[in-house]
Structure 1
Amino acid sequence: MKILQSQLYYKGSLNLAFVCLGCLSFFSPFAKAQEQIKKESTSVNNFNNPLIQLTQKQVCPSAKLLTKRIFETVKYYIYICKGDETNPLGYYVQFSKNSGWKITLPVSNQVDEAYFAKNNGVIYTVTPYELVITKFTKRSSVVLREKVNHAIAADGQSLARGCPTGHTSFVEAATKNYIVYICGKQTPDTYVAITKNGNNIITLPLQLNYNSSQKTEDSEYIAVKGKTHYLLNRKILKVSRDGRNLVKEKVLYWH
């Protein structure tokens, strides 16, 4: 009797072992499938990102020339491709989002994160803040000026600089040559100015006597460094020293 019970116990244990192995063989492909779905989902999410989509396409003049910068405006994508022996500064590639129009030009000059390209009297300039197309005949005239909404390096890092980490941007203003941010945590307390063509930056505390209104359109912000005074309002950016204007530029947009 004991022998029979032992045999039944052994068979039951063996059957249970096979069932467990069956479970493992069932759930192992299931787990792999779930992992694959997760990967594919992540891949789809990345693919739906227009900037990621662009990096997956052949846009540079040669497959050997990788993209090192991507800029996006409302209407365009702009690539900066790595250079070669013919054009060591690289290539400027501009796509129209709407029409598919494309132009590829050698980069003629680079100043920090500002890139310049020329074509038949037209100069294309792109920075992390702005795309400007200027036509030169007897005098220069701006054909197009668009704010850059995204500017990234090949590793996906943002190229634009703005308010310090942890600060809010209360005002973003642009003139011909500068981007200015009024920053702060709970209230505006910092003035940040960046040169468009060189990405040089100056950060200063705002003076306590700046005129802040509930309507930012009516606000005026003042910062001081030594004898140099910085003033920004909706209409103008002015930098002066000893009563003499060093910079006086019209504000082109205010946000």
Structure 2
Amino acid sequence: MKFLQFRLYHKGSLKLAFVSLNCLLFFSPFAKIQAQIIKESTSVNNFNYSFIQLTKKQVCPSAQLLPKRIFETAKYYVYICRGDEKNSLGYYVQIYKNSSSKIIIPVSNQVGEAYFAKNTGVIYTVTPYELVVTKLTKRSSVVLREKVNSAIAADGQSLVKGCPEGNTSFVEAATKNYIVYICGRETPDTYIAVTKNGTNIITLPLQLNYNSSAKAEDSEYVAIKGKTRYLLNRKMLKVSREGRNLVKEKILYWY
């Protein structure tokens, strides 16, 4: 009888092991797929993930004043925190990545997505495209200018207006007041100019006779709208109408 019980118990154990093995084999591919979905989701929602990670630490003047914007450059994080009764426009918080030293200043002005903060003769300006620190003297001088690598809102959405999805950014150039993108799929075909505060954007087809040289410094792109001509090269952005310059600005950086 004991031998029979042992065989029945052993047989039941084998069945249970077989069922467990089948479940494992069934769920393993599912687990892999699920892990891949999570991985892809994290990649697609990179801005959301970054915002969650960066807001885990209290960076604003109080826990009630949560960040509504986060800008990241190579060396800094800049947070724009919500305002209160004392400072309705909010607070500018700049953190140096290497030392975590922090600057907190009330926002003094906002134009579109450009935020300005002033402190003892220095103006801090951050937009979705760059961070600029200017020292106010007899001749104002820029003491820091850094390209913003990511700019996100409280909902995790990007604030940057660049090339359309599916397009390649062949050129990204910055002047004092504009960011210009040369976009396209296989070849450059679109001119996009954005004011740094994000309030205005113009999108035009490139003229077919533009000069896109193998050497970036020799490339020149032209777009036309009515009587207005938009010209971009490595040295300048020029907007003219009937021979009269409306905009002529030096290129500060070219990617």
Per the alignment, residue 184 of structure 1 pairs with 184
The Cα of 1:53 is off from its aligned counterpart by: 3.0
Q: Residue 231 in 1 paired to residue 236 in 2?
A: no
| Residues 217-254 of structure 1: CA deviation (Å, up to 9, x unaligned) | 21100001111110000001000111110110110111
2:220 is equivalent to residue 210 of structure 1? no
Unmatched segments (≥5 aa) in structure 1: none
Tell me how far apart the structure 2 counterparts of residues 97 and 199 of structure 1 sit (CA, whole Å).
29
Aligned partner of 1:246 in structure 2 is 246
Cα contact 2:210–2:222 (8 A) shared by 1: yes
Distance 1:51 1:96, change over 3 A: farther
C-alpha displacement of 1:84: 1.1
User: Which shifted more, 174-183 or 131-140?
Assistant: 131-140
SS at match of 2:54: helix
What is the identity, as a one-letter code, of the residue corresponding to 1:75?
K
1 CA distance for matches of 2:226 and 2:73? 37
Q: Deviations over 1:159-195 (max 9, x none)?
A: 1110112111111111111110001111111000011
Q: Give the equivalent residue in structure 2 for 1:100.
A: 100
Residue 127 of structure 2 corresponds to which residue in structure 1?
Answer: 127
Rounded Cα–Cα distance in structure 1 between residues aligned with 2:138 and 2:70: 32
Give the structure 2 partner of residue 151 of structure 1. Answer: 151
CA distance in structure 2 between the aligned counterparts of 1:221 and 1:145, rounded to whole angstroms = 26
Taking the TM superposition and a 5 Å limit, the aligned residue runs for 1:54-93 are 54-93=54-93
For structure 2, the residue ranges without an aligned partner over 5 or more in a row are none
User: 2-side partners of 1:142 and 1:104: how far apart?
Assistant: 20
- Superposition deviation, residue 50 in structure 1: 6.2
TM-score by length of 2: 0.82
CA contact 2:51–2:156 (8 Å) conserved in 1: no
Per-residue Cα deviation, 1:103-129 (whole angstroms, up to 9, x for no partner): 001111111111111101111110010
* Larger Cα-atom Rg: 1
Following TM superposition, by how much is the alpha carbon of 1:197 offset from its aligned partner in structure 2, in angstroms?
Answer: 2.4
Using the aligned pairs only, state the percent identity.
73
Following TM superposition, by how much is the alpha carbon of 1:20 offset from its aligned partner in structure 2, in angstroms? 4.5
Distance 2:105 2:227 in 1: 44
Quote the Cα distance in structure 1 between the aligned partners of 2:107 and 2:204. Answer: 34
TM-score (norm 1): 0.82
Distance in 2 (alpha carbons) for counterparts of 1:143 and 1:120:
14
Distance 1:131 1:80, change over 3 A: same
The one-letter code matched in structure 2 to 1:218 is D
- Is contact 2:235–2:250 with CA below 8 Å preserved after alignment? yes
Q: Deviations over 1:54-91 (max 9, x none)?
A: 21000011101111111001110000111111111111
Opposite residue 126 of structure 1, the aligned amino acid is V
Shift of residue 51, structure 1, vs aligned partner: 5.1
What are the Cα deviations for residues 6-49 of structure 1, in whole angstroms up to 9, with x where unaligned?
xx89x959x849x749x78xx99xx9xx9xxx7xx98x999xx7
